[in-house]
Amino acid sequence: MSCFVIVGYEARRLVRDRALPVLLSLLLGFGGYAAWNGADWVQKREAAIALIKAEEQERIAFGRRFVETQLVVPGLLAALPPGVMAPVSMGQADNYPFNADVSALGDYTMLFERVWSDIGSPAVRAAGRFDLAFVIVFLLPLVILAAAYDLWSGERERGIAAMVLSQPVAIGPLIAVKALTRGLVVLFPATAIVLAVAAWAGAREPLGLAALALAVILYGAFWLVIAVVINLVTRRSTEAAIAAGAIWLLVVVMAPSLTLTAVDLVAPAPSEMGFATELKARKAEITERQRLDREANPAPARSPAPTIPERLRALYADRVALDNEIAPMIAAHQQAKRARRDALDAVRFFLPSVAVQDALDRIAGSDADRALAFEDQARAAQLELRHLYKSHLDRDALLTPAEYDNAPRFQLRGTGGAFQSGVLADLATLFIANLLILIAARCLRGQAATP
């Protein structure tokens, strides 16, 4: 029996199956809605950023009116724009601030002030939105399993397996060709649907689409190989369907949830609200102590009077002292968050569903690493403005209009790409998972020889 005969038989059988068009239509419908939802989120985020940029320009224009009479360093309203592939996955974008109020005399608590006032449920935000990544991670496996769960068990039930095995044919290559045919007929159209709705939503970067296609194919192949293993060890299609559903529930739903619970026990997430409350209380205590100290020890009058008032020097010194005092508290909180994040990053190498979700987040630019890079760069921009302010305090000189116009502006730098190292690691995880299950299938192929 030639491979072409097997391929033709499997292809005709799937094409005649009325379930396949229904499954692909459902995938198209859910994918289209998810892509629209992602595009809508991107549009709203870009509209919010446009308002932030307009406010920044108003601030800069207002401050310029006082350049020649006061020490004015232009403040910045930094923003984290959506990535070029953002409609694919909203990921963790809602869990991190996307704007920062950067000013020379601001402190850490003022940099991301929106975070301290946010009392929304982190559990609700962590649940995420219905985006294309959700369709890929949760629904695509169901389509693959529905099309391949009876790959060999159906042949056993109809008695075709016994007839085939009576011929001089190797069982391993036979099932491999059947699986590859079903993959071509189901997985590639599903990948095309995902790419089409992603491009329709605005995610049209060639490299991003290539990375998305590779992630979908590797993840779909993982479930196709799972279906092969199921068919090797089950005798009836009913058993295969139950086993496929149980494995989907375990791999996609239960394993990530149980792993998250284990990570919470090993490296619990620090309370953001508790940290914000404690930090605000500490800040109020330091500010009050500084005020009392200034009242008890007023700065001596200088003659002649400096160009820049002494109160601004005192304010600058207080801000620096405040940052230095709260720095250990901030560092401890960030260390706790980093420990948890490192544990979660390690988990993805053992869970294919988590690995593909992480890959999609990184491809879309909605991952935690990009958000944290934005926070670090916003803090660096604040320190740069503060150094500029300090240099003019030391020289007792106001900014000239030219210096004001040429003051540093925030520009997000180097936040990865479609094939960044994290994406490659996730794709490698999916590839290794496929390889391991293929090895298991090879070891179990002898069971398929019993009709």
pLDDT digits (tens, 9 = 90+) for 286-326: 999 998 998 888 878 777 888 888 888 888 999 999 999 99
Radius of gyration of the chain (CA): 29
pLDDT at 160 over 90: no
pLDDT beyond 80 at 449: no
3-class DSSP assignment, residue 128 = coil
Query: In this structure, which long-range contacts are made by residues 48-54, counting pairs with CB atoms below 8 Å and at least 24 apart in sequence?
Result: 48/98, 48/99, 49/79, 49/81, 49/98, 49/99, 52/77, 52/79, 52/99, 53/77, 53/79
Q: Tell the residue number behind the tokens 């009242």, with chain if given.
A: 295
Three-class secondary structure of residue 112 per DSSP: coil
Distance CA 216, CA 193 (A): 11
What does the alpha-carbon distance between residue 222 and residue 435 come to, in Å, rounded to a whole number? 9
CA 221 to chain centroid: 22
Q: What is the mean pLDDT of the chain?
A: 86
- In the DSSP assignment, the letter for residue 408 is -
pLDDT for the residue numbered 408: 86
Task: Determine the Cα–Cα distance for residues 348 and 259; give it in Å rounded to an integer.
Answer: 10
* Mean pLDDT calculated for residue range 30-34: 96
Which DSSP state fits 448? Answer: G
Alpha helices in 297-420 (DSSP H): 310-347, 352-364, 368-395, 401-405
Closest CA to 359 of 222, 212, 254, 209: 212
The stretch 117-143 carries a mean pLDDT of 72
pLDDT in tens, 395-436: 999 998 999 998 888 888 877 788 999 999 999 999 999 999
Q: What pLDDT does residue 124 have?
A: 41
Question: Please, which pLDDT band fits residue 123 given cuts at 50, 70 and 90?
Answer: very low
pLDDT tier, 167 (very low <50, low <70, confident <90, very high otherwise): low
Question: Quick one: average pLDDT of 6-11?
Answer: 67
Q: Find out whether 222 and 434 touch, Cβ atoms under 8 Å.
A: yes
Q: Using DSSP, state whether 101 is helix, strand or coil.
A: strand
Residues 168-215: tens digit of each pLDDT: 667 777 788 888 888 888 999 999 999 999 999 999 899 999 999 999
